[in-house]
Structure 1
């Protein structure tokens, strides 16, 4: 890990890694669903997964807070992540499997940077009690629990989707 990576990891809240691991586990249950939402509705998969995770943790963000999360990653998304993803998809037919896998690995690294940006902004939005609630949720919830746990509400999912004038019913299964 680079020195800047070490400094950044000390700045990230304690729940950072565990929450994104839960999100990754959720993603791996239905990857095509999440990619479809990304492609069909221009949703950010990391934010969509985070909305579901926060619903499971019973932490509610307002639509304005969701807008601030979107704003926090907007430049990274538009200038780095989306152009790279498009280039990877276009290069798929011209590359051998090892080269294409390398491109996927780089894209995953870019996604992790997006998660860091989200985490830094979310850290500013949460109250101390919500920080503690999310920390306890991330410690006490393993990946199997997360998959089985049905959120009591879809408040965050609905608030995030409303930023794009979408409703949960608009998501394609």
Structure 2
């Protein structure tokens, strides 16, 4: 099977399904542990495809995405959260919409980097990624089910 062809924006549709099943837990991981939800969703999707990345590949991917998000997405997200009580509902929604656009840009970056990474791994992507964030995957098994 050629995975390269599967690494397009459509894989995020499957990831959206995972996200909506446990949205509160994903957001808690993001807020409490700075877990990148897109990477966590990707790790689950890749495990379901039996496509394992090496731990070093996950480290590289995590670092590169983090660098981009620290420059663009994360400051904007912080501004949106700080502005919530100062904005009209329609203005706040516009900020949410722009944040979603930035999330999609992040997803495109992830897919671009993913295509360049070797996939000779043998372990669970989900476990490897949570280990990078120093979290025990056994505490979050409901996400990988």
TM-score range, shorter chain: 0.7 to 0.9
- 2:50 paired with 1:58: yes
Q: What TM-score does the superposition give when structure 2 sets the normalisation length?
A: 0.85
Query: Which stretches of structure 1, 4 residues or more, deviate above 4 A after TM superposition?
Result: 170-173
2:136 maps to 167
Match for 2:89 among 67, 92, 97?
97
Counterpart Cα distance in 2 of 1:14 and 1:161: 23
Q: What TM-score does the superposition give when structure 1 sets the normalisation length?
A: 0.72
Compute the RMSD of aligned alpha carbons.
2.2
1:144 maps to none
SS of corresponding position for 2:10: helix
Structure 1 unaligned spans of 5+: 1-11, 128-152
Cα–Cα, structure 1 residues 14 and 49, in superposed 2: closer, same or farther, change >3 Å?
closer
Contact 1:157/1:168 (8 A) holds in 2: yes
Map 1:5-84 onto structure 2 (within 5 A): 13=5, 15-84=7-76
Q: Which moved more, 1:68-77 or 1:111-120?
A: 68-77
Offset of residue 87 of structure 1 = 0.7
Contact 1:37/1:172 (8 A) holds in 2: no
Offset of residue 29 of structure 1 = 1.8
Offset of residue 163 of structure 1 = 1.2
* Structure whose CA Rg is larger: 1
Structure 2 unaligned spans of 5+: none
Equivalent pairs counted in the alignment come to 137
